[in-house]
Structure 1
């Protein structure tokens, strides 16, 4: 083989390798600016009942690309989208099943939960809304061409929920290369749960919900791509400390902060340099920050 051909082939291989090593964009880079990504908390939950398909659709109607949800498990092993460990606050479980206090999600079958009204507590307009299964939720997010921050809620109550959640995501097509690159984050308040997700599927972007000490950030950076903290505990210095570390995929750690629902607070935390803002009022936060 001529030397010129050898050089050309080597250059091509180096170029291909470099392409493979280009890191996926951060949330801000993916948005095409340095303004924060806006994430609709439990859907657009200021305007529709939280964690319902109606809240997902309302976020889509507002032009919000990212939604956040909470996943728990029924007595017979179905994953459902609901925030509280109990059904009492956001459904009519107390009326329908008066003798089943404290109405824990884990004590009801999927069939029993399907009977519940998850909308009337919010507004008569949403009477008859249901607690969606994770499969139903993923189908709606896919239909709306949205992106998802999925929270595994109360994992200590549901052994093995990490693996089960990943299985549903895989079945719904959400562990494809495209989805892993820019459309999915799995988070939890449990560091062990986040670590488990990372170990089971290293390609999944993960987030730890909390505000670790700066000295502990290197350890979190081994299994979490994001440190997602309440806005009441962060500062410009803390955000900078997060960004100074690289996560398990070789990119700087990100921070999504929650739950910011007014314009003044949104502008303040955007000034800290956060990558995203989780909010019940995504239209308000988007207008205040110019985020997307």
Structure 2
């Protein structure tokens, strides 16, 4: 029995136990069977952000304990050009900025220096046990991924005065960071670094700047066959929400030679759907859901 068939069976049983009935129909996959570790890449979105404050040391530490899990991060650049981990354009939702800098609570992240950001608590909003979590630099992630764990980086670019994404500033900050530590060289040369973004032009520039990095284009809907074919010339994969994709569109992505990355896979039902659509990469806030996927590789 293939690993994919074993996963289908296990997940379907889980759906019965959790939901009372198996809501999803398990279809026979049209995609080639392969060893689990080779065919399914599971990425912890912001670390284990379903169990700890996103993009913090606690979230990454929890994700670390799950086997075969990679990491994804959102990156912004401080006023003094330090790439830091932050999803939102402002600090209000995930820090205590309104108490430390009450007049700047809704100011852009990029208007703060890293020294100022170090004064903030990025964990207490999630719960008292996570109080005093610092905002991390991109460099800090190296402590959690070592030399063999993949990382997906989503650049969250600031806007220029003309209202365009400031890709050049982001690219320079990332390049400076990559040049600062040989650990990045090893990750890049092993194709364990990925850039993901909805901005195709930014991704093209980043791909030229770091040719060893993998590229994932994020979209909310599947483009035309012609655009998919063109995308294959500069991207490795297409990323979309697990609920935003039909079977026919999934087939078109595969036919274009692109890998399929499905996001927001946070339940058993989501997992069943993602596997049936032929996803090669799954982004989740709950990596514990996947602990048993790659076990029992050679059943009798």
Fold similarity call, TM over 0.5: yes
Q: Shift of the alpha carbon at 1:291?
A: 5.2
Residue of structure 1 aligned with 2:281, choices 267, 276, 283: 276
Contact 1:117 1:128 in 2 (8 A): yes
CA pair 291-220 structure 1, distance change in 2 beyond 3 A: farther
- Let me know the Cα RMSD of the aligned residues: 2.2
CA pair 291-243 structure 1, distance change in 2 beyond 3 A: farther
For the pair shown, the structure with the greater C-alpha radius of gyration is 1
Q: Name the count of aligned residue pairs.
A: 255
SS of the residue corresponding to residue 256 of structure 1 reads strand
Q: How does 1:125-144 map to 2 (within 5 A)?
A: 125-142=129-146
The separation in 2 between residues aligned to 1:253 and 1:147, in whole angstroms, is 19
Q: How does 1:167-246 map to 2 (within 5 A)?
A: 167-176=176-185, 179-210=188-219, 211-215=221-225, 216-245=227-256
Structure 1 moving runs of 4+ over 4 Å: 28-31
Gap regions ≥5 residues in structure 2: 1-32, 159-164, 296-300
SS of the residue corresponding to residue 99 of structure 1 reads helix
Counterpart for residue 154 of structure 1: 157
1:262 lines up with 2:272 in the alignment? no
The separation in 2 between residues aligned to 1:53 and 1:180, in whole angstroms, is 26
Contact 1:85 1:154 in 2 (8 A): no
State TM-score, norm by structure 2: 0.78
Farther-moved stretch of structure 1 (231-240 vs 197-206): 231-240
Residues 95-123 of structure 1 deviation map (CA, whole Å, 9 limit, x = unaligned): 11111131320111110001100010111
Q: Shift of the alpha carbon at 1:74?
A: 0.9
SS of the residue corresponding to residue 66 of structure 1 reads strand
SS of the residue corresponding to residue 255 of structure 1 reads strand
Q: How does 1:105-144 map to 2 (within 5 A)?
A: 105-142=109-146
The separation in 2 between residues aligned to 1:88 and 1:281, in whole angstroms, is 24
Residues 21-43 of structure 1 deviation map (CA, whole Å, 9 limit, x = unaligned): xxxxxxx9685354x32110100
Gap regions ≥5 residues in structure 1: 1-27, 246-251
Q: Shift of the alpha carbon at 1:161?
A: 0.6
Counterpart for residue 15 of structure 1: none
CA pair 66-218 structure 1, distance change in 2 beyond 3 A: same
